[in-house]
A and B are shown apart, each in its own frame.
Chain A
Amino acid sequence: MGHRLTSQKTATPLIVEGSLLNTSKSALAYQTILRSAIGSSLTTTTRRGFFTNSEQKEVEDVVSFYDDKVTQYANQEIQTVTLKTLLGLGRSGTTCQDHHQRSEAAGDLAINLDVARYARKELPVRLARLIKATQKLPFIVGTNPYIKRVYKLYYDSFQSITASPEEIRDKDDLDSFAALLKGLVESHADVVPMLSQGFLECKKYMAKEDIKRFLDDMIRARIGIRLIAEQAISLREQRHEHEASPVETPHNDIVGVVHTELRPADLIRTCASFVQELCDVNYGSSPEVVINGQTDTTFTYVPVHLEYILCELLKNSVRATVEQSQKLGRSALNPHGNGPERRHQESGNSAVIINQDDDQDVTKRPNEFGHPPVEVTIAQGDHEVTIRIRDHGGGISQEDFAAVFDYSFTTVKNENESSGGSAEDDSPYGVDNIFKGVSRLAMQAGLGGPIAGLGFGLPLTRIYAQYFGGDMHLISLQGHGCDVFLKLKQIDESLDDLQI
């Protein structure tokens, strides 16, 4: 996956569950990269002929059973680190507001070394814990090829990090360590799809709650590991840039994987156009995305996380809107479909205006395909940024709503086992069935299929949202639509006590 680095000039390419982020890229370039990146993951994860024979052998050759190094590491305490340390702020003592200073700090070798040393020390411990957790799975589950493969990935990563020189003394050590990390991060891009498929196949061997707990813990731990590793990598790369062109400091606000002046409105726009294009491919039309509220908000966050969340939520909303349009017969000529008669009138008393004339309201006016828009509202509070995504997609029925945050594996199952479309209709908010047709089409067209890499649905989204102390709530108004409230803490506000 060498292409991941090709167009990289300013910001670091970051890989989160197979997606790439580079906010400064044009939307199209961005999407192409995203697709090709995930395309490869799709092909590896959704086909049964996943392992070559030699790989299969390799997996079985792992002699980790006799390896007590894992246990030894796993028994060490996790050293939580504050984001402040990762940003290099602890050392230089700069404040969050001082961009110039921080930019220099980012290029500072000493901070770079600090983070790398921390990563060298901490990553084996965290990896060992993941390995341990996997070892404790029921034996039959552990023999599943997908889970075994994940296990092997973690075990190999553990091995290669512990085998690397323990001391990171200078720039050269730093570079080789960063290169090692980079390789590992790339090799782990497909872990979540693999886990998902693996546990789908193991459904009958483990209780649903146990699977959910395991996956939650696994994914949460994984976010932490990736954050540390990616920060080490990207700091180093920023330093390289800085050294290459010390005069230019075009991205003072990007420190490693953290963006201190992230504009959610921009990111929403990027994600929206990406999702809309997917939707066009699949359904032939897509709704508008209206962004309102405090659109000039900026805050400190990890853009890849937010990007993943937004893409996931927008995808759900866009798809639900289009499908609801089909269901109601909404079209360009008949924008309200077979719904109730609309009217705009002053009500009998002056306090209430009955307003069903959607053309009056930009958040409700249907576009040329008859799709009402998806409304995204940004609000900046004292301690948090809230993003509300509101659609007219008909909501979720009470029965389905209970399962919305479950890890659901219906799509992958459809692809591999039933290949029928019925299950898809049953759980519109199930996991990565969402643009299943798209990925197939896209692959046929040689575009690569982007969706499988993004499609772990709401549970994963919520874990990301909660990772820095935020939260996500989904409210279904059956017959109308869904409101999602995404509440994100400004991470520089709790920089000191935020531990990852």
Chain B
Amino acid sequence: MGGSSKDDDSATDSDDFNGDLPESSSGLFQEGEKVLAYHGPRIYEAKVQKAELRKSEWRYFVHYLGWNKNWDEWVGKDRLMKNTEENVLKQQALDKKQGADKNPKSARAGHTKPKASTDAKLEKEDSRNTGTKGKKRKSDVEVEKEDDGQVGKPVKIQIPLTLKKLLVDDWESITQQDKLVKLPRSPNVDTIISKYVEYNSLKDGSHGMTTDQSQEIMNGLLCYFNKVLPVILLYKKERQQYIEAVVGDVSPSATYGAEHLLRLFVKLPDLLGKIKLEEDTLIHLKQKLNDFLKFMQRNQSTFFLSMYDGSKASEECGKEEDN
């Protein structure tokens, strides 16, 4: 079975849209009509729930058949196709390309979800991020006028392999070996981010972004880290240590280091998924975040611990990382 789409990159850039649908004075698609809809790299069976004329363009609220209604969304006609044999063949072609089961439900069951989590809400959100639905390909700006409760699309972030291994070792040390990260860390998250900002300012117009904009992103990361560390970034066994270490005015970013910052990246798709960002902006953002991850990877030996603090008698050395 193909790897979890968490590791899958989003669609290729091939512009494969069926753009030959004629302009119509009434909507091209009717309410209740079964259609085929593009979503991410694939085509799904969907049903038009509503049709509305907005700013002289028809918009259709579709429900993807077999999928939770949380996926229902407003789309333009460029995302939809009539349910003809020809278009079904297109759907099958894309399915083959993705190498996945055609049945969305069983395909989804094959993807991993964090079963350890006891919070059903988190599971649902994680299944969005690791599910088969990738990001939209087209760079539409969807000006959603619905209620604020609507979540944006999942944001996939590739964590480099060596860093993923660090996360697994981190898990092992803490949950299996009863070790802890010795606090306070040096370098801490503040330092790591400052170093990156410094390094970044030396690169001219990196990724078409000014230094200010890059800094805004780093500010965003820092803000997330400080707010969510105690909420979603700690293993159970670390809670006591947190209470003791982070008291009064002390910020998490001054106390913790790369190990915990990396965990933030596991949660970033969830967090960023809560706001709407335009396609192009998302691309820039992900480029910057990936760049930061590479920076962490390059400085692995300085930023990350090679050994955790063991309170147990066994003086097992922490795992040495192969760079």
- State whether these chains interact: no
B interface list, Cβ under 8 A from A:
none
A interface list, Cβ under 8 A from B:
none
